[in-house]
Amino acid sequence: MTTKMDEKLEPIFQEVLSRNPGEVEFHQAVREVLESLGPVIVKYPEFGQHKIIERICEPERQIIFRVPWQDDKGNVQINRGFRVEFNSALGPYKGGLRFHESVYLGIIKFLGFEQIFKNALTGLPIGGGKGGSDFDPKGKSDNEIMRFCQSFMTELYRHLGEYTDVPAGDIGVGSREIGYLFGQYKRITNRYESGVITGKGLNYGGSMVRTEATGYGAVFFVDEMLKVRNESFAEKICVVSGSGNVAIYTIEMINELGGKVVACSDSSGYVYDEKGIDLELVKQLKEVERRRISDYTQYRNHARFITGKSIWDIPCQVAMPSATQNELTGKDAQNLIKNGCIAVGEGANMPTTPEGVKKFLEAGVSFGPGKATNAGGVATSALEMQQNASRDSWTFAYTRERLQDIMKNIHEVTYETAEEFGSPRNYVVGANIAGFIKVANAMVAMGLI
């Protein structure tokens, strides 16, 4: 169970609320971490003396900028760009860029805050950051996307660098956008600095398995949780929300491990296919043609497209929310538990509401929080940086093996940390504490900076 917040931490949380008004997602993310840290401040009083928690909750730097661009009709459009450089105790700031109309500072700060601990869990030398824009890429032409990305990078480039801050993709930022962003960075700086951005195409410095990494890694993590229960993916009915990068490669790896995914979604509704989602069709619709998931039923007549209802109503044994924050509520969790769900792996960041998390933990469902479960993406980004630094490129098989090892380690560390701090099988507590201690120790060592 998530624990109640320790009374010594409550004033710190109240300070976060009053210093960051209106940023509800950031508050939610901070609360979840602070609720896990009670036993840590008892064991490590020096973290209190050095005000590590207060310092971790305050980003090192926050950049907000205007992004003017011209649409295809010649009209001037203005968006807002963000980069929150949250914590660099373990390495250069690292975290994706999100282009979605819902983006505002509170979303970027919640994502950046989570990223600090996630990146620490990977065991790789990367700090935490996140960025993005309230730009909505849906329905925009390639040229509009390119002009927007160029304008965005024209401001952001001065804050980046392979040893400073290294962005990547997230919602609305895939290989097309990364290409335009990198191209503009290269042009402005006159430097071919491959390690300044990750998620690049394979023909110009990208890493094998980066595209697949978040989804594959999430399934590897859930597979480890299932092993603890003497279970496996074989024959399991699964539901995966979303139909973007994370969802697609989650489905691919579940299929490889013998599970069957019967539903996936986008923001307009979900597709239910009891014969098992046809992944090649989803890839064609979403990755190649950039169409809506509702079009699936045009090609598979037996499948149904359902709108206005929750995808979590569908009975399944494994649920992998892989779309966006707060998409799985307490009521959804209740339904999943009632229908026999035994494991939940968060492919997305914070997709389960606090009430949902509480219900899963109370019911003994194996619950993998995003900062552990979806860390495979950023871990493979760090492997991309390693390859760029040594001007090398690794094979698919080798990179996949590295990813699988990293996910196994993250599972082991979170599992053992939860036990050590008195919350066995609580991966939320395990991930928060293990990530936090690593960053906190580095901050203490570096003095008051």
Considering the rule CB under 6 A, would residue 277 count as an interface residue with ligand NDP? no
Q: What angle do CA 57, 321, 396 make, to 5 degrees?
A: 90
Q: How many CB atoms lie within 10 A of CB 299?
A: 11
Q: What angle do CA 419, 421, 427 make, to 5 degrees?
A: 55
Question: How far is it, in rounded angstroms, from Cα 237 to Cα 234?
Answer: 9
Q: Which amino acid is at 40?
A: V
Residue 79 φ/ψ, nearest 5 degrees:
-120, 175
Q: How many CB atoms lie within 10 A of CB 411?
A: 25
In angstroms, give the least distance from the CB of 235 to ligand NDP: 26
Considering the rule CB under 6 A, would residue 377 count as an interface residue with ligand NDP? yes
Radius of gyration for the alpha carbons in the chain, expressed in angstroms and rounded: 21
Considering the rule CB under 6 A, would residue 374 count as an interface residue with ligand NDP? yes
Name which of 10, 131, 36 is nearest 435 in CA terms.
36
Name which of 14, 29, 24 is nearest 370 in CA terms.
29
Site string for ligand NDP, 9-48 (x = CB under 6 A): ----------------------------------------
Active site residue 130: yes
- How many residues in the shown chain lie near ligand NDP by CB under 6 A? 23
Contact predicate 103/120, CB 8 Å: no
Considering the rule CB under 6 A, would residue 324 count as an interface residue with ligand NDP? yes
Among 81, 167, 172, 430, binds ligand NDP (CB under 6 A): 172
In angstroms, give the least distance from the CB of 302 to ligand NDP: 22
In angstroms, give the least distance from the CB of 172 to ligand NDP: 5
Considering the rule CB under 6 A, would residue 244 count as an interface residue with ligand NDP? yes
Name which of 139, 81, 129, 1 is nearest 424 in CA terms.
1
Edge to edge, what strands does the sheet with 304-306 contain?
Answer: 304-306, 269-272, 260-266, 237-240, 318-320, 343-345, 366-368
Restricting to residues 338-367, name those near ligand NDP by CB under 6 A.
347-349
In angstroms, give the least distance from the CB of 298 to ligand NDP: 17
Q: Which residue has the CB atom at the shortest distance from ligand NDP?
A: 244
| Residues whose CB is less than 8 angstroms from the CB of residue 419 and which lie 6 or more positions away in sequence, other chains included | 430
In angstroms, give the least distance from the CB of 191 to ligand NDP: 25
Considering the rule CB under 6 A, would residue 373 count as an interface residue with ligand NDP? no
- Of residues 118, 130, 236, 438, which has the active-site annotation? 130
Considering the rule CB under 6 A, would residue 266 count as an interface residue with ligand NDP? yes
In angstroms, give the least distance from the CB of 276 to ligand NDP: 19
Question: How far is it, in rounded angstroms, from Cα 343 to Cα 240?
Answer: 12
Considering the rule CB under 6 A, would residue 323 count as an interface residue with ligand NDP? yes
Binding segment for ligand NDP (CB under 6 A), chosen from 79-87, 308-316, 322-330, 434-442, is 322-330
DSSP 195: G
Among 129, 169, 430, 435, binds ligand NDP (CB under 6 A): 169
Q: Which residues are catalytic?
A: 130
Residues forming the site for ligand NDP (CB under 6 A): 169-172, 214, 242-247, 266-268, 322-324, 327, 347-349, 374, 377
